[in-house]
Every structure is written in structure tokens, then in C-alpha cells.
Amino acid sequence: MADSSSGRGSLLTDGGISGEHPSPPGYTIFVGPATSDEYNTLRAQRTPTACWRLEDIRFEFDSSFIAPSAAEEFKNLASLIRGLPGAPLSVFGHADPVSNDVYNKELSERRAMAVYGMLTRDTDMWDKLYNKAHGGDDWKKVAVQTILLDLGYSPDAPGTDKGAKTSEALKNFQGDNGLPPTGKEDKTTRAKLFLVYMDKHCKDESGNPFKVEKKDFLAQGADKDGKGDYQGCSEFNPVLMFSKEEDKEYSKPENKEKRNAENAPNRRVLIFMFRPKSYTIPNLWPCPSVKEGVELCKKRFWSDAKKRREFQENRREYHNTKDTFACRFYDRLGVNSPCENILLTFNTVDLIFQRYPGTEAASAIQGLEYEYTVAGSNPIKGTTGADGKARIRIPPGENAELKIMGTTYQVGVLSTIEPYNKIEGMQKRLNMLGYRFGLCSGKMGPGTEYPVLDFQADNAPLKVDGLPSANTQQAIRDKVGE
């Protein structure tokens, strides 16, 4: 999907935005007459010329590990870099306004580090993330198994205990890559795993791996902590802020998942590209590293930052109100950026593919390749996980076309649904649970009776008679999770 209202030719994908910034306006300056030993000084500002944004969907929640599905966005970044030769980069990670400033400073920087490491092929940086967990961000639980699975091996499911299957998968990978087949994820094996994974998913439009040299970043790799090249902005610059009422509602424990989903646009990684020959001296760069702490961030805050960071009477979105960023330095970088002025909102739809309906995880079909398109977008590809889940994101008002297992499905999101105790409402819920397909007529017939029978048989102690009794309708409603 392309958008020409912000920047020039902004490209929207399922997992991000990229595009050039509008040309800056001309400036009026006032100068004094010059003499042989007196002169005027004009200091050019660091002005972003383009941007690239990676959405939260390309990371696990509370994690910095980059998912395989980010390949499409890296391809777009390669195209952007090729079109702007000599434009140096700087990476900014962002968290949502949940938890606390210090925790989110490190989490947001870890995501920036993961992207920087991917682009520069710095496997040591990824190993640093692997060896030092941060809260829920623990690469040891997901990274190796995710990579092995993505490369076509058969480890234990990511996030589960590593057993014989992971050891065997590691031996096979090691044997295929000239390493001793020990079955252990030692440093040498991890470095090779990381590099192969980076090369597979960080490619240009021609399918060739692309790499960015550290000298091509704003500080040219001069600082060991990355100052000027990558940084975490904690939760200081959200693109949306809930209203007071929304925040109160989302703070309830039962609404945690809904809050996290609504906050997804805030959890993002931005790359700004600057005018050619721009550079910064690390100790003059205003954004502190994690080691330097959040107090140095706050020195760059707007005078009304406290108010900006509060949940106010109405919901605020940066592209409309321009008052959600607390940092005035970052605000200047992002104010005209298409990557900060197009708010990507999606309905997230999880479709679970099982061998037969109504069963638990043992019936899930793992490793199915699928692709889908939305509103004329390029195909967005994925693979079902251990839970059989295909996750697709659909903008409001749009439908998706999903292709999986040789079948094409038209997927639409219900904005409303009939009551569960009406036949049409029951039919739609049975569709959602995988028991029936097709139109929902609101009338009973074989196309509904047989799915009802199957549901009843799978959900004892319901009476198995194919009739829409009150107990059956209530059980269907409960299974949907209403």
C-alpha cells in the first residue's frame, strides 16, 4: 500500500512504514556585515531526509528478538538506502507507557540493538542480547529454536524446554555448516546461526543479502555503547496516549491483553536517515545510552513534558495533536516524518489450523506456509507455529485474502455479531471455532445441524442431538471467549 499524503511515496506494509520526508522549508536568516576578521556562522541542523519503521508485530511482546516475518520491511529499507546514497542512519527504539522509564529504556534500546546488529551483521551484539536477559526479554528461551525452525530443522517448540529434538536439530545444523556436531548451542554455533538467519531475512529486492557498514551510521561506529548510532527512547515518545477513562479501564487485570494490543503502535523501532555527510561526535549527541540513564533523556524534555505524559480527558494521537512526545529533540526529528505521522492500526486475527476442530494443541498443524494480501499489498508470508496459529493483520474496513494449504480464504473482521442465542449468531461463532464454513442464513438446516452435533460431541456433557439448546448456545459462546 502506498500513501502520498506524507513524505514522497511512503510505503506501508503489514509490519512497517518507509519513505522520504517532505523537503524542508526555506529559512530566513539575519546577518551582520562581515569584515576581514569578523564573520557570521550558520550551523546546519541535523535534518532527517527519510525514515523506516518496524512495527511491534515483528517482535514478540516484551522481547527484542526479530521475527522471521520482518524480511519484507528489511527489503524496503534496502531500497530506501539505495535511493539515498551517502545518507547516514540512526536507530531509535520505543516502548509503550506501561511499566517504568528505566525498564523501558533498556527494552527499547535492546530492540534498537537487535536491528542495528542485523544490519551490520554484528553477531557479537546479538550474543550479548542472548546472554543477558531483561525481564521477559530472554533470548535463551526463543532465539535458537526459532532460528532452527525457520531454517527448516525440527527443534522443540520455541519457548519450551530444550530437549532431544533441539539437540538433534543443532547437530544437523552443525553438520551442514562445517561445525563439530555436538548438539550444543555454544558461542561458535550461535554466531553461525545468527549470521545465517541475518543473511536469510535481511535481503534487498533482488533477494541478495544486504549489509550496512558501521561507518554508514551517524556516529560511524565510534562509540562502544552506540551513541549516535542506536538508542532507546524508553516510553517518552508514544504515538498515542489513552484517555483517562481508557487508561482506567485498561488497567484492570482482565483487560491486559486488550491494553497491550491497543498500545502496539507505541512499541516500534525507527531509523532516521540524514542528509549526506551528516555525522555526530558521540559525546555531543543528546540521546544517552542505557548506562547513562534516563535523567539525561529528561534534560531534553519539553517544559510541559509532565502534562504530555499524563492520560488526559481525550485520547491523543501524535499525527493529530502533536503533543505526545516528551522529548523536544526527538519531536523535531519526527514532526514531519511519515513514519511518525501515519498511525498503523490493525485488527489482529489469529487463525488456528488443526487436523480436526474442537481439540486442544495436540491437533495443531505446525510449519504450514501461508501468505495473505490486504488492499493490494505485496504478499505477506508466514509459517504457522507450534500452536497452528497463522496471524494476520487487517486494517479497519478492509478484507484479507489468505492462501494456505492450496486453498484461498476471504477473511473479513466482524465489527458486530448477532446475540449468541440467535441462530445467525450461533452460526457465526461456529465459523469462528472451525466447525462450519459458508454463509450464515439464520436458519437451521443440515449445514448447521452437523456442526452443532460435532461441537456437542467435543464438549461433554452436552446432549448430542444437533439441536440449538440453551446449554449448547451458552457453551458455544463460552468457547469463543466472550
CA distance 336 to 20: 10
Q: What angle do CA 114, 117, 118 make, to 5 degrees?
A: 85
Provide the b/e sequence for 67-91 (b: ≥16 CB within 10 Å).
Answer: bbbbbbbbbbbbbbbeebeebbbbb
Residue among 404, 420, 429 at smallest CA distance from 354? 404
Whether 298 and 403 map to the same domain: the answer is no
Whether 144 is in a domain gets the answer: no
Whether 403 and 269 map to the same domain: the answer is no
Whether 225 and 91 map to the same domain: the answer is yes
Whether 449 and 472 map to the same domain: the answer is yes
DSSP class of residue 35 equals: B
Q: Are 123 and 261 in contact (CB under 8 A)?
A: no
CA distance 10 to 22: 11
Count other C-beta atoms under 10 Å from residue 216's C-beta. Answer: 19
State whether residue 118 is helix, strand or coil: helix
CATH number of the domain to which 115 belongs: 3.30.1330.60
Whether 224 and 334 map to the same domain: the answer is yes
Whether 106 and 249 map to the same domain: the answer is yes
CA distance 133 to 141: 10
CA atoms within 13 A on the CB side of 363: 10
Whether 245 is in a domain gets the answer: yes
Whether 60 is in a domain gets the answer: yes
Local mean pLDDT, 10-residue blocks, the chain (482 residues):
42 85 81 83 85 90 87 94 96 94 96 98 98 94 94 91 95 97 97 98 94 98 97 97 95 89 93 96 95 95 97 94 96 93 72 66 79 70 78 76 90 82 90 76 87 90 93 91 75
DSSP class of residue 224 equals: T
**Which amino acid is located at 454 in the chain?**
D
Whether 322 and 351 map to the same domain: the answer is no
Whether 359 and 232 map to the same domain: the answer is no
CA distance 54 to 268: 6
CA distance 49 to 278: 11
Q: What total number of domains does the chain contain?
A: 3
Q: All 3 cell numbers of residue 6?
A: 506524507
Whether 252 and 320 map to the same domain: the answer is yes
Q: Which of 376, 411, 446 is the last residue of a domain?
A: 411
Whether 138 is in a domain gets the answer: no
Whether 318 and 369 map to the same domain: the answer is no
Q: All 3 cell numbers of residue 367?
A: 510449519
Whether 161 is in a domain gets the answer: no
CA distance 429 to 409: 17
Q: All 3 cell numbers of residue 104?
A: 523501558
Q: What angle do CA 441, 479, 390 make, to 5 degrees?
A: 85
Residue among 470, 477, 468 at smallest CA distance from 445? 468
Whether 183 is in a domain gets the answer: no
Range of the domain at 442: 423-480
Whether 163 is in a domain gets the answer: no
Count other C-beta atoms under 10 Å from residue 449's C-beta. Answer: 14
Q: Which of 363, 379, 411 is the last residue of a domain?
A: 411
Whether 352 and 316 map to the same domain: the answer is no
Whether 230 and 334 map to the same domain: the answer is yes
Whether 300 is in a domain gets the answer: yes
Q: Which of 341, 362, 380 is the last residue of a domain?
A: 341
CA distance 361 to 358: 10
pLDDT at 442: 87
User: Strand 407-411's sheet: what is its strand order?
Assistant: 380-383, 369-374, 400-404, 407-411
